[in-house]
Chain A
């Protein structure tokens, strides 16, 4: 797709305008059953195999609220420092679309379960930015349509469409920020950091896996610009379903540049929905909202109001885990790493594995070294998550223990890790099978050292003459002879001993 949009440079855009953002994030809850019926929410099942009269919207069917869904919503609200409604209702959002079986979505309108909160997010340089939360409300997901035969994958122009209602009725929490102002040039970074922090929070609460690539978490980026001296927000565009952290940042950045181009050219921004394209990093116009769409909201008469007792809310508050930002700050101190390094650890998804490795007995530095080094590289190359690698934190801890006791050196340890990843067994089994033990048999080592000295008389002389640095060549020869299984430091000691020199 080509884009004919003129852009102004990012710097020029920010010189004249202040961006105002609103972020709407949908999170699919990880409840076992759907929001209003008992159907399973398991992903990957045969299309339409997880459906019943209620989630298919058959005539006569009725919804029943999933209590766990409400509980999750309250937990999210509490973690976002929101007030929790004492009494609220579901509402029907009426519009026609084939993937919505009832042609209305059961949602919440002017009575959200949680409202008026905030989330502190940390930017790359370690500074904190507070994002105000307008509301978090409960609703149900739609089915999934696959449009076949159209050029764009959209319903228009399609020959036919396939509908899978397995997703219909899966609980969603929609979290809406208040307008985010004052972020200036860092607005795209704030957007990204907010979505990232929210994802961590959701995961920490255990209410969803929040995997964006699986559609379990989706973000709409609403953005407008206002001239530096203005006090009224400009017209916004709504970029829908931006589905990765990187895309959130890019979409915000692109829209800032596009809006600036339109506005500085004397044009006006049209209120419309836009689609983000991963390949070009640009957005294109979706449908124009000539007037605000009329969803004819009204209270859902098939459901009774949700009135969480204060006792229950306080009980839930008491069960909240340590929240991600606080935890990261604590760990940063415990591990002695910089804010930037911590950000990298977070981005790599390495926090939990490192914590688990330390809990299994490793020291922080080693645990971090393995997960952020060898293992991060492997995950990257194979396109998997760190936690999906076929190695456990306990196994990593065992490797560090073997290194610490001197049974493995660094090079051997890497081979052990490689063996575990290849499915050759536990670290000890790999050591055993591959015969990867540091040679600590002094007799064998001494023989190898003697052999190396005898075989390299010129180098031996240099060392005898005081060029201790030349010992490296002899160490290399010994290591080669022992197929890397010797402890290099001990080898060097032996060589120097034999040749009657000391390092000092």
Chain B
């Protein structure tokens, strides 16, 4: 029974709960049992909220018994990235500096999930403060990729992607500052969407880089991602950067997948050195498939994209150096050296020295330097200009095409430890995802096969203009359906059983 339940999609679970075929409690228990059985090996979760999840599930069942109308995801379990605050439930952001902190408030996204009766199973592992592409930067140990536990599940949202790929949850939440939803989705054979910047509230999402951070849905199918997108999206008066417009019709698009007559762009900058042969092969096949499905393929030149990584590694660290200043050991979280012999300033310094990991410190220092007077124009100022150029390249491209496609990440999942000492190699994992964050538009990653050389998942990235998130789902659903037909089953069926 458990095995059957955990393989269901979110849409199927919701339908079965609504019809009375399954209870929300049974669904939640099945997933909690799965977590108990395998998460010791995967380490997707930092905190499992067994009691909270069961209470939410019971409430859904009671609602149904009372004959109340249930929402489209009522009773469906979800794994929440540990970057969103949850009142009364620990929120660590993968950092020792927030170990033991219990937030007094719910993030807007958390609240919307609860209001929609989505059952929050627990909080998932992540690179500390979402800085990384492997989840190895978590202060609480790495997460294994369910396809090969010696490999990384991507990052920063590796806990969420691994939870989906190992059937511990049918839905998950990620955040994407430079690719932290899409790259983990790509290397685990799951679906992840970075909505348009401002499409999902950031209130209660611990900030890494405010102008780039964007929460979004993670799932095993395009439709499930759309259903989740609709629940968490939409204007929030508590987030000034949230867009005051209705959520694009993502569910409708996901139910009506098609690329017929669409113009699909392929950017020439998204290939070349550093791209794994098998990744390029599967991507080229995906382009061929799109053509077969009726799309017109258009080659695009976006020269500014070559500068994206450099600009990103000035803007994101600059904002993070300021956003992370509040972790000073005085009001919450870790406090080191408070033994009567140290001044307040020393306590702050000792706390930050102990509480932050190496990558976080590297970025704080980088950002502090980039914002310094005398360097601001050369670094932060120039990076903002590059950002404008990238936005213009996208704008020009979207005059010619409806969506752009690319590999999500240049390689398949690398081995745990392989790039840990080489930050530059790690940063390259986000080569194809970063331009979208800098421009603020929307993108999705979905599986497009296994690389022939290592048998690991390859992700196809679809990029749409801002507030045209529905196009991602329209194209994604068509591609997904074509692949499932071609393979005879969803890609995850081929993952080793855990």
Given A53, A96, A292, which contacts B348 in the complex, CB threshold below 8 Å? A96
B289 interfacial contact with A, CB 8 Å: no
Q: Is the interface of A mostly helix, strand, loop or mixed?
A: loop
Q: How far is the CB of B327 from chain A (nearest CB, A)?
A: 8
Residue of A nearest to B325 (CB): A103
Residues of B within 8 A of A302 (CB): 207, 210, 240-241
Contact B322 A296 (CB under 8 A): yes
Given B103, B107, B238, B371, which contacts A94 in the complex, CB threshold below 8 Å? B371
A470 interfacial contact with B, CB 8 Å: no
Q: How far is the CB of A382 from chain B (nearest CB, A)?
A: 41
Q: How far is the CB of A280 from chain B (nearest CB, A)?
A: 29
Contact B322 A104 (CB under 8 A): yes
Q: How far is the CB of A92 from chain B (nearest CB, A)?
A: 5
Residues of A within 8 A of B202 (CB): 62
Contact B93 A59 (CB under 8 A): yes
With A98-B330, A302-B240 known as contacts, the answer to whether A60 contacts B325 (CB < 8 A) is no
Residue of A nearest to B107 (CB): A60
Given B101, B238, B343, B345, which contacts A62 in the complex, CB threshold below 8 Å? B238
B326 interfacial contact with A, CB 8 Å: yes
Residues of B within 8 A of A96 (CB): 325, 328, 345, 348
A56 interfacial contact with B, CB 8 Å: yes
Interface string of A57-69 (1 = CB under 8 A from B): 1111111110000
Given B241, B345, B371, which contacts A298 in the complex, CB threshold below 8 Å? B371
Given B104, B343, B373, which contacts A292 in the complex, CB threshold below 8 Å? B373
Q: How far is the CB of B414 from chain A (nearest CB, A)?
A: 30
Q: How far is the CB of A138 from chain B (nearest CB, A)?
A: 14
With A58-B104, A60-B206 known as contacts, the answer to whether A296 contacts B326 (CB < 8 A) is no
Residues of B within 8 A of A304 (CB): 240-241
With A64-B240, A98-B330 known as contacts, the answer to whether A59 contacts B91 (CB < 8 A) is yes
B368 interfacial contact with A, CB 8 Å: yes
Given A56, A98, A296, which contacts B371 in the complex, CB threshold below 8 Å? A296
Residues of A within 8 A of B412 (CB): none
With A53-B104, A60-B204 known as contacts, the answer to whether A103 contacts B371 (CB < 8 A) is no
Residues of A within 8 A of B344 (CB): 98, 155, 161
With A96-B325, A296-B371, A301-B319 known as contacts, the answer to whether A62 contacts B240 (CB < 8 A) is yes
Contact A63 B348 (CB under 8 A): no
Interface string of B102-141 (1 = CB under 8 A from A): 0111010000000000000000000000000000000000
A101 interfacial contact with B, CB 8 Å: yes
B84 interfacial contact with A, CB 8 Å: yes
Q: Is the interface of B mostly helix, strand, loop or mixed?
A: loop
A148 interfacial contact with B, CB 8 Å: no
The complex places the Cα of A92 from the Cα of B297 at a distance, in Å, of: 45
Residues of B within 8 A of A296 (CB): 321-322, 368, 371-373, 376
Interface string of B303-339 (1 = CB under 8 A from A): 0000000000000001101100111101110000000
Given A58, A63, A94, A303, which contacts B322 in the complex, CB threshold below 8 Å? A94
Given B240, B332, B348, which contacts A58 in the complex, CB threshold below 8 Å? B332
Q: How large is the interface on A (under 10, 10 to 19, 20 to 34, 35 or more residues)?
A: 20 to 34
A294 interfacial contact with B, CB 8 Å: yes
Interface string of A441-485 (1 = CB under 8 A from B): 000000000000000000000000000000000000000000000
Contact B322 A92 (CB under 8 A): yes
Q: How far is the CB of A297 from chain B (nearest CB, A)?
A: 8
A240 interfacial contact with B, CB 8 Å: no
Contact A60 B205 (CB under 8 A): yes
Residues of B within 8 A of A65 (CB): 240
Q: How far is the CB of B241 from chain A (nearest CB, A)?
A: 6
Residue of A nearest to B95 (CB): A59
A437 interfacial contact with B, CB 8 Å: no
The complex places the Cα of A92 from the Cα of B323 at a distance, in Å, of: 10
Q: How far is the CB of A171 from chain B (nearest CB, A)?
A: 16
Q: How far is the CB of B438 from chain A (nearest CB, A)?
A: 13
Residues of A within 8 A of B330 (CB): 98, 163
Residue of B nearest to A36 (CB): B240
A398 interfacial contact with B, CB 8 Å: no
Which positions 50-108 of chain A face chain B at CB distance < 8 Å?
Answer: 53, 56-65, 92, 94, 96, 98, 101-104
B443 interfacial contact with A, CB 8 Å: no
Q: How far is the CB of B79 from chain A (nearest CB, A)?
A: 18
The complex places the Cα of A161 from the Cα of B332 at a distance, in Å, of: 16
Residues of A within 8 A of B167 (CB): none
B237 interfacial contact with A, CB 8 Å: yes
Interface string of A279-300 (1 = CB under 8 A from B): 0000000000000101011100
Between B104, B209, B240, B319, the greatest number of chain A beta carbons within 10 A of the residue's beta carbon is seen for: B240
The complex places the Cα of A68 from the Cα of B483 at a distance, in Å, of: 55
Q: How far is the CB of B409 from chain A (nearest CB, A)?
A: 26
Residues of B within 8 A of A298 (CB): 318-319, 322, 371, 376, 380
Known: A62-B239, A98-B330, A298-B318. 15 other contacts (CB 8 A): A53-B204, A56-B331, A58-B85, A60-B85, A60-B203, A61-B203, A64-B237, A94-B325, A102-B326, A155-B343, A155-B344, A296-B322, A296-B372, A298-B322, A302-B240
Q: Which residues of B contact A (CB under 8 A)?
A: 84-85, 91, 93, 98, 101, 103-105, 107, 202-207, 209-211, 237-241, 318-319, 321-322, 325-328, 330-332, 343-345, 348, 368, 371-373, 376, 380
Q: Which residues of A contact B (CB under 8 A)?
A: 53, 56-65, 92, 94, 96, 98, 101-104, 155-156, 161, 163, 292, 294, 296-298, 301-304
The 6 residue pairs across chains A and B that have the minimum distance between CB atoms = A103-B325, A296-B371, A301-B210, A301-B211, A60-B204, A59-B206
Can you sample 30 A-B contacts with CB below 8 Å? A53-B104, A59-B98, A59-B103, A59-B327, A60-B84, A60-B91, A60-B203, A60-B206, A61-B204, A62-B202, A64-B237, A64-B239, A65-B240, A92-B322, A94-B321, A94-B322, A96-B325, A96-B348, A98-B328, A98-B330, A98-B344, A103-B328, A104-B322, A104-B325, A294-B373, A298-B318, A298-B380, A302-B207, A302-B240, A303-B241
